[in-house]
Structure 1
Amino acid sequence: MDDIRIVIFYLAVPSILFSILRKIPLWRTKKNREVKGIPGPRQFPVVGRVHDVDRFCMWKKFKEWADIYGPIYRTSMLGQQFIIISDQNIAEELLVKRGHVYSGRPQIRALFDHKTGPGYLALMDRHDIWTRQRKWIHAAMADFHRHHFFGVIEDEVKRYLAILLLDPAKFHANTREHCGRIMSRLAWGDASQGKENADSADCTLTQMSVSGPIVNTMTPLWVIPWALNPWKKFERAREDQQRAWWLNSFQIAKHKFLRGDLSENTWSNRYFVGLQNQGNLDLEQSPEEEEFASCMLGFQNLVGVVTISGPLQFFLMAMLLHPEWQKKAQEEIDRICGDRMPIIDDMADLPTVRACLKETIRWRSGVPLGVPHQAEQNDEFRGERITKGTVILACEWSMNRVPERYPDPEVFHPERYLEKGWPTYQEPLSRYPNFREGAGMHTFGWGRRVCLGQHIVDDEMFVSGAGVLWAFNLVRKTCPKTGEVIEFDSEGTNAHVILEPLPFPCDFQPRSTKRTAQILLGYADIRDQLKI
């Protein structure tokens, strides 16, 4: 093993030196024409400020710099230029009003060809494949939302509550699988793929994160020859396996559809009906078209896991750490729902629950760095040139801590959405707060790259979160030896692009023996239709 590391080191050093030599003329040119319109920390040759940044919590350093240099500043890392934004108005100016300039995606080094597609819609540059996939998914998501996702979310929440009752210690893994099951049912009509979906989502996130493979920060290492490059070998195997799984799921769904066995309440069924409406009754497609469709449906399936699992776990943490708000939300649920589990139709009548969910996303940002944009052409802002290829980060962690907009930002305050006088208060409370619109919606991205899954996040987070509070009291665990409450780091995460908290101790205590019976009865009522 030591010999291999030595070989890799000697192969990497020339690559890094070559990269440095290529940058020297650019540094000289830039130094001669530099304009002081956008501030930032002092930059060092080659490395920029990469040595200052902890890749496992980069957002905290960006917040520290924002406090020093202001709501927009620039920095660089190994020759890559960055603009960091922590002001909502500036983000809207660049990423929304100038969306024709700043809607590209930067290359994630540990992934192959993601900018060209068709694998990962959210990571593609804007081109025909991106446009086709995004248009179809937007229409499909809106259609399913109008039908409240055909009851799939409520059915799976009944199962989730039963699993929490019977195996509470594994709530982290079971929460991720719960989100994977919902998406797999909606995509293919097969909830049994939930765990595989969740695991694949987590592995994909690892590959695309700064905290993942070291080549995502030390990019020259990527050019090491294939025979000695463990990062390329791993990614090739991972992506090939994922694509094969998506294609197999697509083809199984196609065969079911042709036999009349595929659930109508699936995105794959909607896709096949569309083909037949165009005259393709036998669903004959080229390998390229099958790859396009299987990746479109597969990624839609995958991304719905990672965008909900982490925030839902943070919500459980927030309720655990703030029992006063847990009690307020439970009293509201009991008043409206009584002895039945909350459903989507209760959303308008449960503003306290929605406020707790909304504040969770602000308090513990699910995407603390924001998903990066890239300048597709040269531009100018505040008298300074922003060159093509510059990465723009609208840093959620910083944006959610602007005190003028979010007073007392480090503290969990759901009342900021419920009481007049708070900057984020909106009426009517039967509509606000939510994840689809209104104040504080930058969590879902900006402009032409805004997330298409806001509706399912809103519905799934609401029914899952309200369901847990209807069923259980979330209680701090105590040490069996000392009797003292077990403390944990509420900011400890897996450090991915989209965060999940590190496992934390939590007791799920049924709120009554009657509620226990209701949980089990609810699961029994829908168990057969889950088809597992």
Structure 2
Amino acid sequence: MASLTLVLLYLAISSLIFSVVKQVLSWRKTRRLQGRFPGPRLFPIVGRVHDVPRFSPWLKFKEWADEYGPIYYTRALHQPFIIVSGQQIAEELLVKRGDIYSGRPQLRCIINHKEGPAYVALMDRHDTWRTQRKWAHAAVTKAYRHHFYGHVETEMKRYLGLLLLDPALFLDYTREFSGRIMSRLAWDDATQGRANGDSANQTLHCMSASGPLPNTVTPLWHLPGFMNPWYKFEVRRQREQRAWWLNNYRLAKDRMLRGDLPADTWAYRYFEQLRRDGGNESLEQAEDQEVFASCMIGFLNLIGVVPVSGLLKFFLMAMAVHPEWQKKAQARLTAGVMIKKGTIILACEWAMNRVPSTYPDGDNFRPERWLEPGWPTYQEPLTRYPNFREGFGMHTFGWGRRTCLGQNIVDGEVFVFGAATLWAFNLSQKRCPRTGEPVPIDTQATNSHVILEPLPYQINIKVRSEKRGRQVLEGYNEVRTGRY
């Protein structure tokens, strides 16, 4: 045991020396860069790595933005950062100069993500990225034009039924809801929904600062593989994830050859294109071609889960904590109205969404900012705005060439989810059985993934009437048989 500890100590010291040498070699360049931007004082070697928390680092970025302005410089070990907290600056750098700044930083604990083919959103801009993104954009656009083939509404019936039967599991059901929709779109197999959600959540953990320690203490990643637990874990995770994607891809191919794969799936779209462009009626492929395609479809499937389910969970929280807005929304439903190089550019959405001139009272739940004239974000007509595809606040979905492909999916899912849930149920805070007082919900308690979800919380979910309960169960019974 003492020998192993000594070896690890030597390796850690070697990694630190490596970082020191690298920092010294780039010292003059770094100082020149630092002189051009404001920012917090940097300490030798470490920069400010000790000052940025692994959990909720955006809070520190916002604190520094308040002190140093909407664009400032900092460094963690040998990695320089420019932090942008102004929307116009982000547009100038990440949209107008997208050719320069739309590359991807190396996420230490996601192996070879910049090369591909597994994670198109994390790749550098090269042929693999262009091919996969172009294909994914076309596939999502077509699905949007067909309102996602009714899958959102079908899964909503199931979700409402599950809430009625066992409301205590609402957080699990919400992530599975999103996972099932994406699995239907990808492979026509909603039973993969829970595995889809779990895989998406684990992937986000591994790419987040709050995840594996080498994401922030990067010298640890240079430990030899045989004694590097993070490397071992990531090799296993990627192997299992790719095997899962490949298996689903091959099952879908078998169904395509039998003629029973629905034409509205992304797998069908790919196989049909393979036949049309290459005359490959038997869909024969080398294994590397299958891996490429299965990763393209698998990751497109994956990224539509947690980003949406986190938003849906925040919606449920907001309705329980703000019953006055729940009542207003339910009343509307009752009325039946149809309607640099080496330097990473980070757009701090947490700060942008709290710029007082655009978002007054930005830390509080104020839906009226979108619904009442006089607010900076108000747009007309209300039959079109607000939505998740355009208008104010959509910078949250990314910038320029890196804009999220799934905005239309978000728009469709969130509307159906919110409207249907409030049509069927009343949501409220739990009450203490002894005092009768509402049990507090910490609305600021989240995980620290790249995309946030709230930490587990409890609410009461009650059906609004016996009639609506019956209607929910009727809808649930329609969709709970067969493959679904």
Name the TM-score class by shorter chain.
Answer: over 0.9
Do residues 167 (structure 1) and 166 (structure 2) align? yes
User: Which residue, 419, 427, 447 being the options, matches 1:474?
Assistant: 427
Do residues 10 (structure 1) and 35 (structure 2) align? no
Q: Deviations over 1:110-142 (max 9, x none)?
A: 011000000001000000000000111111111
Partner of 1:42: 41
Partner of 2:336: 336
Q: Distance in 1 between matches of 2:244 and 2:459?
A: 34
Q: Deviations over 1:306-349 (max 9, x none)?
A: 11010110011111111111000000011117xxxxxxxx4x2x
Secondary structure, counterpart of 1:101 in structure 2: helix
Tell me by how many angstroms 1:482 deviates: 2.9
Q: Which runs of 5+ in 2 are unaligned?
A: none
Q: Deviations over 1:355-413 (max 9, x none)?
A: xxxxxxxxxxxxxxxxxxxx3xxxxxxxxxxxx11011100100000000011111111
Partner of 1:65: 64
Partner of 1:240: 239
User: Which residue, 418, 436, 439 being the options, matches 2:392?
Assistant: 439
Change (3 A) 1:146 1:34: closer
Partner of 2:369: 416
Partner of 1:516: 469
Tell me by how many angstroms 1:522 deviates: 1.1
Partner of 1:531: 483
Secondary structure, counterpart of 1:393 in structure 2: strand
Tell me by how many angstroms 1:34 deviates: 4.7
Q: Distance in 2 between matches of 1:215 and 1:85?
A: 24
Partner of 1:140: 139
Q: Distance in 2 between matches of 1:333 and 1:50?
A: 49
Q: Distance in 2 between matches of 1:30 and 1:477?
A: 53
Change (3 A) 1:158 1:240: same
> What one-letter code is carried by the residue in structure 2 that aligns with 1:327?
K
Q: Distance in 1 between matches of 2:29 and 2:176?
A: 52
Tell me by how many angstroms 1:440 deviates: 1.1
Partner of 1:27: 27
Partner of 1:322: 322
Do residues 500 (structure 1) and 453 (structure 2) align? yes
Is contact 2:22-2:78 (8 Å) kept? no
Secondary structure, counterpart of 2:454 in structure 1: coil
Q: Deviations over 1:216-260 (max 9, x none)?
A: 001111111111110110000000000000001000000001101
Q: Distance in 2 between matches of 1:325 and 1:512?
A: 20
Tell me by how many angstroms 1:154 deviates: 0.2
Q: Deviations over 1:268-327 (max 9, x none)?
A: 111111111121111111212111110000001111001101011001111111111100
Partner of 2:252: 253
Change (3 A) 1:287 1:517: same
Secondary structure, counterpart of 2:50 in structure 1: helix
> What one-letter code is carried by the residue in structure 2 that aligns with 1:162?
G
Q: Deviations over 1:474-504 (max 9, x none)?
A: 0110122332211131111121111110011
Q: Distance in 2 between matches of 1:229 and 1:223?
A: 8
Q: Which runs of 5+ in 1 are unaligned?
A: 338-345, 349-374, 376-387
Q: Distance in 2 between matches of 1:237 and 1:413?
A: 44
Q: Deviations over 1:11-58 (max 9, x none)?
A: 212111221122113113443x45633210111111111111111110
Change (3 A) 1:59 1:35: closer
Q: Distance in 2 between matches of 1:431 and 1:224?
A: 54
Change (3 A) 1:159 1:4: farther
Q: Distance in 1 between matches of 2:234 and 2:459?
A: 35
Tell me by how many angstroms 1:4 deviates: 5.3
Partner of 2:111: 112
Partner of 1:371: none
Change (3 A) 1:26 1:163: same
Tell me by how many angstroms 1:526 deviates: 2.7
Q: Deviations over 1:420-442 (max 9, x none)?
A: 11111111111111000111110
> What one-letter code is carried by the residue in structure 2 that aligns with 1:243?
R
> What one-letter code is carried by the residue in structure 1 that aligns with 2:380?
E
- 1:72-83 counterparts in 2 under 5 A? 72-83=71-82
Q: Distance in 2 between matches of 1:165 and 1:78?
A: 51
Tell me by how many angstroms 1:5 deviates: 5.7
Secondary structure, counterpart of 1:304 in structure 2: coil
Partner of 2:284: 284
Identity %: 61
- 1:390-409 counterparts in 2 under 5 A? 390-409=343-362
Partner of 2:184: 185
Partner of 2:122: 123
Do residues 228 (structure 1) and 227 (structure 2) align? yes
Do residues 87 (structure 1) and 86 (structure 2) align? yes
- Which segment is superposed worse, 3-12 or 246-255? 3-12
Secondary structure, counterpart of 2:74 in structure 1: strand
- Which segment is superposed worse, 413-422 or 100-109? 413-422
TM-score of the aligned structures, taking structure 1 as reference length: 0.89
**Stretches (4+) displaced over 6 A:** none
Tell me by how many angstroms 1:3 deviates: 7.2
Secondary structure, counterpart of 1:336 in structure 2: coil
Secondary structure, counterpart of 1:473 in structure 2: strand
> What one-letter code is carried by the residue in structure 2 that aligns with 1:241?
E
Partner of 2:54: 55
TM-score of the aligned structures, taking structure 2 as reference length: 0.97
Q: Distance in 2 between matches of 1:226 and 1:176?
A: 34
